[in-house]
Structure formats: structure tokens, C-alpha cells
Amino acid sequence: MVQNIGNRLVQAISHQAEKAGYFCAAENISANQKVHELRRGFKRLRALLRFFIEIPDNPAVQLQVDIRNFGKLLAPLRESAVNLDLFELEIAGNRLLSEKKIRNAREMLAEKNKSLVERGFWENNLHNTIRTFFDGFETILTVNNSELSGKIHIYREVSRTYFTSFNLYRQLPADPHPEEWHELRKKLKRMWYQLDFIRFLHPRYFKMKTDQLNKITDQLGDDHDLYVFAEDLSGEGHGFNEEELQIIKNQIENLRELNQLKLQPRLKQFFSAPPLEFDQKLERFFKLNSRT
């Protein structure tokens, strides 16, 4: 390989850490966009840091935990922004609902988002805490000349991710619960980031796979967003009566069903290769003589 894969990995992680610091400090980006970009970057970082899990005493495991905790803190902020967007896109034009109630609900969703962002990102100084955390991230990762990941570590992790995702997909019931879809999405999102990193090993094959995953994870994300949105609107305080809530619920369920009709064949196509066949391809791309 032209460049040692371990050094390439450290550079990729450092780049994501720099982006996180940039989004925390940038003044020309809205708070909701900052939160969105940070959470997306956190997921990529956690996926890449998993390449270090077999290396003893490497700080990557604790870094993963810390980044995950930051993501959890930002999750309610992101959900409130998505709920507001979905309300504008899918519900605000529904003529079966009162215009006054739509207006009031929109204002409540907007106020909730504003309050969460102010309290959960600015007033608690979380943006600066995150920015400080990622200062010198590369130095932390390689502290005490810690061993870098080699191609065998990366091969094993990608193999595990595919195996776990494949089994999760095959075990889905005929009518999966939204949380079961969500669990699959989290695993496939991890795979997307990991395959995107090793794409240079075989650009043609991994471009096909990452393109498939991009569409699949977007659809799974849409499904989860719609589910969370419906749950949020079903709570008290938005001003809709039971009949109106049923109208909204039916509309959202219809959107989820249409989404899943397109999702199922894409999942079947992506998982057409069983884990052993996938591993054999990886072995060739990594130029491994065996799987040990």
C-alpha cells in the first residue's frame, strides 16, 4: 500500500476531529446545522475508532465512550429540529386539520427546539467543551507511541461489522418494530463509514457498496425520524384531539410503508453475499493469505 494504512487511519480521524472543532467555532452556521454536522461526525469517528479495539491500552475505547456521550447530549436537540422540519413538510399543509391548531403546534415545536438549543448547547457551554475535547486529538490517539492499526485489525473489524449487520437483517421479523429498524441502521451506518475509509483498496467495489448503503441508511433514518415525530406529536400539549392525532398517525404510517417498500429490495441486494463470501473479497483486497 502506497501509504501505511495505520497512518492513513490516524489522518482520517484527525480530519474529523478538526471538523468538529470547526463546527463548534464557526459563526456563520446555525446552531441546528452545527448539531447535525457534529452528530454525523461523531458517528464517523466512532466507526473509525473501532479499528483500534484489538490494540491493548489504546485510548480509542475511552474516546469512543466520550464521543458517544456527547452524541447523546445532542440527540434531543437534533430530534427537535427534525420534528419541526417534518411538521412543515408533511403536516402543515394537511387540510383536514385546523389552520389555527397547525399554527399553534408549529410555534410550540419551534419554541421547543429553540429552548433545547439554548440550554443544551450554548448556556451549558457544550460547544466549547466539545471543541476543547478535540484539541490535539491525534496526540491523544497516539499517546506513548501506541501501536497503530494494521490491515489485519481493519479487516477483522469490517468483517465483524458485516457479520453483525447481516445477522441482524436476517433476524428481522416480517413487520419490524421501528426500534428494530433503527438498530439495523446504526450498524449499517457504522459499515458505511468503515467501507468508505477502505474504499481506496478497491474503488469500484466499495463505491458500489457505499452507494447502496448511503441510500439504505437514508431511508432507515427517514423511518426513524417519522416514528420519533409521531411519538412526539402524540404527547400532550400540541393541541390536537384524538381524531386529529389519528389523521396524523395514519399519514405518517403511510409514509413509512411507502418508504419500506423501496427499502426492502435494496437491503436484499446489499446482503446478497453471505459473510464468508464477503470476507473472501476482503482478503483479496487486503492481500491477506489467511483470515487469522
Query: According to the model, what pLDDT value does residue 236 have?
Result: 67
Global confidence as pTM: 0.93
Residues 280, 285: Cα–Cα separation, whole Å: 9
Residues 251, 227: Cα–Cα separation, whole Å: 12
Query: According to the model, what pLDDT value does residue 274 have?
Result: 97
How far is CA 132 from each of CA 100, 108, 115, 202, rounded to the nearest angstrom?
45, 33, 24, 36
DSSP string covering 58-75, please?
Answer: -THHHHHHHHHHHHHHHH
Beta carbons of 121 and 74 less than 8 angstroms apart = yes
Residue 220: which of 180, 248, 252 has the closest Cα?
A: 180
Residue 8 in grid coordinates: 492513513
Q: What is the mean pLDDT of each run of 10 residues along the chain (292 residues)?
A: 77 94 95 97 97 87 95 97 97 92 94 97 96 86 66 95 98 95 98 97 96 98 96 83 92 96 96 97 86 42
- % residues pLDDT > 90 (the chain): 83
Beta carbons of 199 and 214 less than 8 angstroms apart = no
Residues 176, 46: Cα–Cα separation, whole Å: 26
Beta carbons of 21 and 134 less than 8 angstroms apart = yes
Chain centre to alpha carbon of residue 240:
32
